[in-house]
Amino acid sequence: MEIQNMHRDYINSTIRELCDQQVRYAPREKKVEQANRAERLLAELDPKRTYTYEYLCYRITDFRPDSPVAAKMSGDDAKHDLRLFVEDVSDAANLPADAAGEKVLTIEELSKQFKVSTKTISRWRQQGLVSRRFMFDGRKRLGFLQSSVDRFVKKNEQRVSRGARFSQLSEDERLNIVDRARRLARAGGQPAEVTRRLAERMGRSVETIRYTLKAFDVEHPELAVFPENSGPLSDETKRRIDQQYRRGVSVDALAKEYGRTKTSIYRILNEMRAARIMELPLDYIDNDLFRKANADAVCLGEMPEAPGPAKKGRLPTGLPPYLASL
């Protein structure tokens, strides 16, 4: 039986099956050894090359499969799956952090060391920083071997230095962003445009600027930079947006007029469309079966088998590609 916390987002099922076997049958020493071998292999993989499962299995376990396995995968996919393999196998090993043989850093310690947020550390994991699970004072937590951190930093010097440079905002920086955004808003700037311009000017991500302004508006509604954009739209405003769209006003224009993102406008349009559909009279064709005592069991039961293979209908000419593919 596989462990409950094992990752389910493996790209290649053969690597997941290999991991499941090691988790269930390998002793602790073997689990640790194979996690180490998998991490060393990770550092050698070329994203542009294709690798066979037989090669990957041999490099991790020192054994070749009993029967040939035709599975192949790209270097990128192999890197993704081996990162999960290391974490899952180390999770099953239940190894105390002080028995790892080298320094083990937690996410919080790594965040302080590089002066970045824990979210940045999570992004680094997706970008190649290998993590494992260790026992810390009787509790299992995510940890990073010092050698794993050193290897990642050596290969990603620019990314790490950029992350440290774009560390969490200070209070002065937040106030500066709010002040600049207010001036741009008074000059007629819309939220999306203001956010983009400030991100370019201040060397921050668009998401950082957007979050900073949104948080300020929620905390200080009386001083909000975009007061009309800080709360949910009324039903009347949603109906007006829907009516304008049906009259031909573009989503871009609606987003600017109402100070919302295009994604928000599309969500409102879908919501209004669903409301119109729900108001339609839902008629049906009557059938004597509906009045029988076992009507529920018959109508809601298993679909009867077709008397023969379904005939493939001929597609009408001129059908749009998105319909033809259904």
pLDDT, tens digit only, all 326 positions of the chain: 344 578 889 999 999 999 999 998 999 999 999 999 999 999 999 999 999 999 999 999 999 887 778 889 999 999 999 999 999 999 999 999 999 999 999 999 998 888 787 888 988 998 899 999 999 999 999 999 999 999 999 998 887 876 665 556 778 888 999 999 999 988 878 788 888 899 888 877 777 888 888 888 888 888 888 876 656 778 888 999 999 999 999 988 888 777 777 888 999 999 999 988 888 887 778 888 888 888 888 888 888 777 777 777 777 776 666 566 65
- Sequence-distant (≥ 6) Cβ neighbours of residue 91 within 8 angstroms: 3, 5, 6, 132, 133, 140
State pLDDT tens for residues 4-40: 578 889 999 999 999 999 998 999 999 999 999 999 9
State pLDDT tens for residues 280-316: 887 778 888 888 888 888 888 888 777 777 777 777 7
pTM value is 0.55
Name the token pair of 241: 């947006």
Q: What is the model's pLDDT at position 323?
A: 63
Distances (CA, A) of 290 to 15, 281, 323: 51, 19, 34
Nearest to 91 by CA among 1, 8, 3: 3
Name the token pair of 324: 């033809």
